[in-house]
Each structure stands twice: as C-alpha cells, then as structure tokens.
Amino acid sequence: MDFMTLIAIFDSTLRYATPLLLACLAGLYSERAGVVDIGLEGKMLGAAFVTGGVAYVTGSIWLGLLAGTAASIALSLIHGVASITYHGDQLISGVAINFLAAGLSIVIASAWFGLGGRTPSLPPEARFQNINLPLADTLQNVPILGPIYSELISGHTILVYVALLAVPVTWAVLFRTRFGLRLRAAGENPGAVDTAGVSVVRLRYYAILIAGLLCGLAGAYLADFAANFVKDMTAGRGFIALAALIFAKWRPWQAMGTCLLFGFLSAAAPYLENKSFMGIEVASQFIDALPYILTVIILAGFVGKAIPPRAGGQPYVKEQ
Amino acid sequence: MTLMKTILGATATLALSAGAVLADPAIVFDLGGKFDKSFNEAAYNGAERWASETGGSYDEFELSADAQREQVLRRFAEGGNNPIVMAGFSFASALETVAADFPDTKFVIIDMVVDAPNVRSIVFDEHTGSYLVGVMAAMASESGTVSFVGGMDIPLISKFACGYAQGVKDTNPDANVIVNMTGTTPSAWNDPVKGSELTRGQISQGSDVVFAAAGGTGLGVLQTAKDEGILAIGVDSNQNHLQPGSVLTSMVKRVDNAVYESFTAGEGVEPGFAAMGLANEGVGPAFDDSNAPLVTDEMKAAVEEAKAKIIAGDIVVHDYMSDESCPSL
C-alpha cells in the first residue's frame, strides 16, 4: 500500500464522514436538549429528495440546498410538535418521521418526474463545485505535504468544509455560551431550567431546529454527491450517525473522531476486500458491521461508560 | 340502506363480469420500481411493446414492500389475470405458495427457477453476456486494470462478476480485475453515494473501465465514471444513453423479450424452464448511437468471435452459481 493509496483512502474517508458528521451533530443538539432523535435518517432522506428535485428544476444547487433544508426543518417541526408540545413519545414520533420521509419522497418523486421514485440527473452546473484552496496546484509537488494539502485537504465541495467547521462551532455554542449551558441543562434537569425562568419548550424547539438544519445539509450533500435522488438513498446513514453519537458519548470533538473512524472503515473496506493480512482474510461484511459492533461494546460498558443526557427521551411537563 | 345495497350490488356485478371477461396478462415489478432504468424498466418495455403491437391491455403492479408479493399475486390470480409475469428472483417463495392454490393460472417468473406444473421459469445466462462485455473492457482499458461494482452480495451478482473477469483475462491474461460489492443488505441496491465512492477507490487503484451490476447504486457508478473521465458498463437495460460518451456498452438482459413472449403466448404459455442466452439473443452487449464513438471495429469483431465460440462450446464460461466459486478471480 503506497502513499498515494493512503491519501486516496483518507480522501474517501472525509467524503464518507461528511454526511455522518452533519447528522451526528444534529443528533447531538437534539439529544443534549433532551429530545431523542431517531428520525435523522428520515430528515436526511427528505432533504436529499427535495434538494435533488429542486436543484434539477431550478438548475441551482443553492436553491436545492435551501429547499432541502426547509424540508428537513419541516420534518423536525413535526417531531417537535408531537413530542415537545404534545408530550408524545419521542421514539415513536422519530420512527414516524422515517416512514413518512421514505414513503412521501418516492410518491412525490414518481408523480413529479415519472421516473419511479428517482429524480433526473443533475447537470454539472447544478452541482457544488470542488473548492481548490489557494496554492493547491503550486504545492502539489512538495513531497509528502504537497499531496496531503492538494489532494486531501483541498478539492472538496463546500459542505465538507462546513461539516468540519460545524464541530468547533458546536463545541463553542454548547460549552462556551449561555444558550449552550441552558440547552444542556434542558437535557439534564429541565425542572431547574424552568425554575430559573427559562422556557424548556423554547430551548428544545431551538435544538430541533438546529438539528433539522444540519440534517438538511447532510441530505443535500448526498443528493449533490450522487447527482440525483434515488429512493432510500440514505441507506442507514442516519442510524450509523446515531451509533456514532453514542460512541462519542454526546460530545462534539469525539463525534468528529468517531465519524472519521466510521468513514475510514467504509473507505478502507474495498481496499481490504479479497486481500489477506498475515494469513487472515478480512471479510468486508465484518468491516460493514464494525460500527454497530463497536457501539454495542461501548453501550455494554466495556470501554468507559456512555451516559446519555439524564432527561433524554422524557417530555417535559410543567408542574401545575 | 337502499343506496348501500345498490352500491354493493353494483360492485358485485362489476366484479363478477370483470372476472368473466378479463383474461388479460398481468405483470408485477420488483422493488426497484418500473422506471429504474434497469431490470424493471426492461420488463415494462416488453409489456408496452406487446400492448402497442396487439392493442391488448394488461394489469400491472409496482411493489413498495416485500410483504405485498404474495398479496398481489393472489389478487391478480383471483381477478382472472392470466398469465401473471413477475420480474425478479425475490418472488420465488411467494410464488411457490400461490401457484399451488391457482392450478389453472399460468405464472412466469424471471431470473429464478420455481418448480411447479403451472410455472414457467425464465433465467438468463448472465455469465456469457458478462464475458462479452469483459472482452470489450479488456480491449478498451489502457491501464490493464478494470473493475466491477456489484450491488448486494448474492450469488447472482457474483455470476456477473465471474463471467466478466473471465472475459477480461481471456482477452488480456495480465489484466487485473478489482471486484467490490456494495453491501449485504437490500439497501445496497439504492446507495449511489457508496457506488460512487467504490468507483473512485477503484480508479485510484488504476481501473479505467468499470462494470456496474448494482441497480440504483449503478447510477452513482456511471456518474462517477463520467465525472472522473473513465469508461463504464451498464447493466440489464441499455444504459448507454444515461451518460453518453462514457458508457462503453451495457450488458443487456432481454427481460423485455421474456415478458413480450410470455404475453404473446397468453394462457398457452408453456410451463417449465427456459434459458435466455447468447444463441437466442437473450443477453449481450448493447450497441447504439450513444456508444458508437467508443466501440472500435476490432472490439465488435472480438465480441462476435467470442460469441460464436461460446455458442459452439469452444469457450466454456464458468457459471458461479453452479459451484459458488470463481476460477478467474
């Protein structure tokens, strides 16, 4: 395995990790505020569909992104109304979001484009362009660092950089602002927040709105990457993101680490297929299953303890 | 109450008369949907061709969940449709139970063998067709490395991969064939993002021709091949026009012919086993205007020669499903 192959794997890792990271951070906001969000998958799917459709019709990926994000936020609000305002079960309403998005996207796409639940291919001008960072071409020939800069760090679409930037921003918002403190408190001890005269309901709505926004970006990334929407194209990424969230123990930097790790596993798997190391052949199925296996190990408490926000999953009912 | 009775009565009469007159054929599409630009769409085209040529009408159903398979077969059989054609190997277990309950109805299953006195099983020699596109891939490749992206990791897809690899290696013994499967669950058919990523990985390993047998995932493969400037090979339907100029050819399964012939035979469709191979134009590479600039005369000659040899038995293409192994990989 030579150096350029490694670069290619890490490059691929970044692309695999981007939608996971965006969805994982979405889950982080939501769950830190005490709203369990199993509907990440559905929101991503809804956003991917609307992005694909609108970007094709308008010829602009930016309008697609805007519409996709709006769709994702709308799904978030359904979740919010059911589980925050009306104290419904958060898991059930999340599952409902997943079914709703999976069904609606196919039905609307069929009626809209008549392609059997698919949107037409986006022409190159209706997709995000790769961003070449300054000096990428000049530095290309510098040994080691050149390829790392020009191949790995430069040359991605804007959403990859947005996802990476969202990590420090999330950390700062959650751990360095008053809003973040209150948001976390709403997930740990909503009674105390209420006593302090801050509305738990409003905080939780803010959290799911941010989650909707981030899921929207993740969905738009998928639709842009594949250049069209294909039914069920999220292919379980929302659930992997949830697994990553648990693995990261609900912390932003660790979430990035975990998503990069899971992305790396996906990226490296095809290179390992049909090859053996030290006489051991690694089955690609095993690598596909590894994120789930690792999450189960973490949840079982073998490697540290994953303690979710204490008030997670409980609707907050004000004392009368 | 009277109104209710009238409505009920009318519905009953309608249902009865419909049952008596209706002997239209019916077709059930698999989960990919009838406009998947691939397998189901080919089946749909066959049905449409029959309808426009004969002026007949047919009933159709697109599955949206696995649980509907048995239900829809029963509904069509009870409604008097005959024959009932289903596109896809996944219908096998549902058909086994339903076929026994409707001995007077003829069923046709494509891509799978179901042994029942009223079932016609049509299977394709995917390995020989894949061999021919493998020959083309080896000739088109400049790097000597070609690749394959499969959908779900099942024996049928390995059959494509294995025939392809043999075709490549028989043409260029030094060639390297990279094979990747998208996944092990049905979501592997609808993951264009992963298909695209697998293709990029194969490109970084030197591949310059990629053959996708992966349903909706294949659309991502074709897109990436176009974006990265390499050649792709489509599957099932003629996909040459999807990304003109970068799709070398498509390994076409004439599912449309299978459906067309079944519909034409009508109630007299012959139960038993039928293989669609090279000899009866059941499989093979597609040539049209979209890929004409990419295909050389030598390629066409080589394909014709290999085809003749396979039909004559001079070349034996290994069928992965016969022993679950692939000597060429």
A171-181 pLDDT, tens per residue? 999 999 999 99
Q: Diameter of chain B by CA atoms?
A: 82
The C-alpha of A206 sits at a distance from chain B's nearest C-alpha, in angstroms, of: 31
Give the pLDDT confidence score for residue B280 in this predicted structure.
86
> Are B182 and B198 within 8 A, CB to CB?
yes
DSSP state of B238: -
In three-state secondary structure terms, B269 is coil
Touching check for A44 and chain B: CB below 8 Å? no
Give the pLDDT confidence score for residue A1 in this predicted structure.
62
Residue among A153, A136, A130 at smallest CA distance from A225? A130
Span(s) in chain B for CATH 3.40.50.2300: 2-124+256-276, 126-252+296-323
**Residue B183 to residue A288, Cβ atoms within 8 A:** yes
Residue among A158, A12, A20 at smallest CA distance from B203? A12
In CATH, which superfamily holds the domain spanning B2-124+256-276? Response regulator (3.40.50.2300)
In three-state secondary structure terms, B212 is strand
Q: In what order do the strands lie in the sheet with B176-183?
A: B176-183, B145-152, B209-213, B231-236, B247-253, B283-285
Nearest residue in chain B measured CA to CA from A129 = B227
Please report which helix (H) or strand (E) contains residue B235, including its range: strand B231-236
B20 by Cβ neighbours in 10 Å (0-12 / 13-18 / 19+) ranks as exposed
Give A274's contacts in chain B (Cβ within 8 Å).
Answer: 179, 329
Please report which helix (H) or strand (E) contains residue A80, including its range: helix A61-80
Give A227's contacts in chain B (Cβ within 8 Å).
Answer: 220, 223
Task: Give the Cα separation of B91 and B112 in Å (integer).
Answer: 8
Give the pLDDT confidence score for residue B267 in this predicted structure.
87
**Could you tell me where the DSSP H helices lie in A84-199?**
90-113, 145-147, 158-176, 178-188, 190-195
Task: Give the Cα separation of A12 and A257 in Å (integer).
Answer: 15
Count of beta carbons in the 10 Å neighbourhood of residue B66: 12
Partner-chain residue, chosen from A9, A110, A233, that has the shortest CB–CB distance to B190: A233
Touching check for A118 and chain B: CB below 8 Å? yes
The C-alpha of A39 sits at a distance from chain B's nearest C-alpha, in angstroms, of: 18
Give the pLDDT confidence score for residue A320 in this predicted structure.
54
Q: What is the mean pLDDT of chain A?
A: 89
Six token digits for residue A225:
């990457």
Touching check for A226 and chain B: CB below 8 Å? yes
Partner-chain residue, chosen from B181, B197, B219, that has the shortest CB–CB distance to A228: B219
Partner-chain residue, chosen from B179, B184, B219, that has the shortest CB–CB distance to A230: B219
> Is pLDDT above 70 for A182?
yes
> Is pLDDT above 50 for A192?
yes
Interface mutation vs chain A, best among B36, B196, B197, most A CBs within 10 Å: B197
Q: What share of chain A is helix, strand, coil (3-state, %, to 5)?
A: 70, 0, 25
- pLDDT tens per residue across span A72-101: 999 999 999 999 999 999 999 999 999 999
Give the pLDDT confidence score for residue B164 in this predicted structure.
95
- Stretch A146-159: mean pLDDT: 85
Nearest residue in chain B measured CA to CA from A9 = B201
Give the pLDDT confidence score for residue B17 in this predicted structure.
43
Count of beta carbons in the 10 Å neighbourhood of residue B199: 28
B267 by Cβ neighbours in 10 Å (0-12 / 13-18 / 19+) ranks as exposed
Six token digits for residue B152:
């779900």
- Stretch A26-54: mean pLDDT: 95
> Are B294 and B248 within 8 A, CB to CB?
yes
Give B223's contacts in chain A (Cβ within 8 Å).
Answer: 121, 226-228
Interface mutation vs chain A, best among B193, B239, B241, most A CBs within 10 Å: B193
Give the pLDDT confidence score for residue B14 in this predicted structure.
47
Partner-chain residue, chosen from B34, B187, B329, that has the shortest CB–CB distance to A232: B187
Give the pLDDT confidence score for residue A311 in this predicted structure.
86
Q: Which residues of chain B fall short of a pLDDT of 70?
A: 1-22
Touching check for A16 and chain B: CB below 8 Å? yes
> Is pLDDT above 60 for A300?
yes
Tell the residue number behind the tokens 């050649």, with chain if given: B231
- pLDDT tens per residue across span B37-72: 778 888 999 999 999 999 999 999 988 778 889 999
Give the pLDDT confidence score for residue B145 in this predicted structure.
94
Task: Give the Cα separation of B8 and B2 in Å (integer).
Answer: 10
Task: Give the Cα separation of A36 and A208 in Å (integer).
Answer: 10
Nearest residue in chain B measured CA to CA from A219 = B193
Tell the residue number behind the tokens 């769950």, with chain if given: A31
Domain ranges across chain A: 3-127+144-237
In three-state secondary structure terms, B193 is helix
Nearest residue in chain B measured CA to CA from A7 = B204
Give the pLDDT confidence score for residue B28 in this predicted structure.
94
DSSP state of B152: E
Give the pLDDT confidence score for residue B9 in this predicted structure.
53
Give A4's contacts in chain B (Cβ within 8 Å).
Answer: 204
> Are A238 and A141 within 8 A, CB to CB?
no
**Residue A121 to residue B220, Cβ atoms within 8 A:** no
Rounded to two decimals, what is the model's pTM? Answer: 0.85
Partner-chain residue, chosen from B62, B201, B329, that has the shortest CB–CB distance to A8: B201
Task: Give the Cα separation of A182 and A317 in Å (integer).
Answer: 17
Residue among A242, A294, A253, A256 at smallest CA distance from A39? A242
The C-alpha of B35 sits at a distance from chain A's nearest C-alpha, in angstroms, of: 5
Q: Which residues pair with B121 in a beta bridge?
A: B109, B273
Count of beta carbons in the 10 Å neighbourhood of residue A129: 10
Please list, in sequence order, all residues whose beta carbon lies within 8 angstroms of the beta carbon of residue A278, skipping any fewer than 6 positions away: none
Partner-chain residue, chosen from B62, B181, B187, that has the shortest CB–CB distance to A284: B181
Residue among A17, A125, A155, A22 at smallest CA distance from A64? A125
**Could you tell me where the DSSP H helices lie in chain B?**
2-21, 39-54, 68-78, 92-101, 126-140, 155-171, 192-204, 217-228, 255-265, 297-312, 320-323
> Is pLDDT above 70 for A273?
no
Please report which helix (H) or strand (E) contains residue B87, including its range: strand B84-87
Give B204's contacts in chain A (Cβ within 8 Å).
Answer: 4-5, 8
**Residue B201 to residue A270, Cβ atoms within 8 A:** yes
What's the CATH class of domain B126-252+296-323? alpha beta
Q: What share of chain B is helix, strand, coil (3-state, %, to 5)?
A: 45, 20, 35
